[in-house]
Amino acid sequence: MFDIFLQIDTAKSAIEKTGGFQSVGGTIIQGGWLMVPLGLLFVVALFFFFERFLLLQKFGKIEDNFMNIIRDNIVSGNITAARSLAKNTPNPVARMIDKGIQRIGKPIEAIEKSMENVGVLEMYKMEKNLNILNVIVRIAPLFGFLGTIIGMLSLFDSINKSSDFSTNVLAGGIYVKMITSATGLIIGIVTYLGYSMLQTKIRKIENKMEAASAEFIDILQEPTR
């Protein structure tokens, strides 16, 4: 038992000697060349997250009384005003309603189909580039593990060729080689959280589109004033 505690203390000392508690920059350098693609993956993930986030923030904004105004204009026969409002409101709900207004006079089924087609296109716009984040979620940890494996192979090869072996060398070497694994996992987790947040925003906008579509069809079936 005493030997186990002694080995733990030795490992801790080795970690401290290899810079276990030094700056982030030094730790990144210790991770080796695979930290470069990991860093690039993180930059790409940040870029596409904020690009999608800002777009979805814009798409998600719609006035609470938008559909009420559309209803009043359509029921009163003022189709031009309804079309103008929908056309000048820059979000998926308004674009879908605008398509429905353009098809007024056609069978309900045809109107629903046209609006559904617009909805599909809007969903494509919102989900564009999300696959990139999904790929980064999967490959960032793999890059990290690859770096660790390569590092461990190099470490054991050095130990095999060296006559001066100690637990300090082994513990310090393992610490350094695990840096890429930890980095890859952190990037994967952070990217996954961002990806999930964007998916949630898209689902909320999709629900608004479905609700607006159903309400618009109901409006068309109301008697005109």
Residue 151 bridge partners (DSSP): none
Q: Is the pLDDT of residue 92 over 90?
A: yes
Give the model confidence (pLDDT) of 13-32 as tens digits.
Answer: 444 444 444 455 555 555 56
| pLDDT (average), residues 164-168 | 57
| pLDDT (average), residues 115-142 | 92
DSSP 7-75: HHHHHHHHHHHTTTTS-HHHHHHHT-TTHHHHHHHHHHHHHHHHHHHHHHHHHT---TTHHHHHHHHHH
What was the pLDDT predicted at 16? 47
What was the pLDDT predicted at 219? 87
Q: Which of 123-127, 130-134, 176-180 has the lowest mean pLDDT?
A: 176-180
Q: Is the pLDDT of residue 11 over 70?
A: no
| pLDDT (average), residues 165-180 | 61
For residue 198, give the nearest of 121, 94, 127 by alpha carbon. 127
Written as six digits, the tokens of 7 are 């080995």
Written as six digits, the tokens of 72 are 């009043």
Residue of 28 and 69 predicted with greater confidence: 69
Question: With bands split at pLDDT 50, 70 and 90, how would you rate the model's confidence at 221?
Answer: confident
Query: What residues does each domain of the chain span?
Result: 24-57+130-207, 61-127+211-220
How confident is the prediction for the chain on average, in pLDDT? Answer: 79
Residue of 118 and 181 predicted with greater confidence: 118
What was the pLDDT predicted at 5? 36
What was the pLDDT predicted at 6? 40
Give the model confidence (pLDDT) of 122-131 as tens digits.
Answer: 999 999 889 9
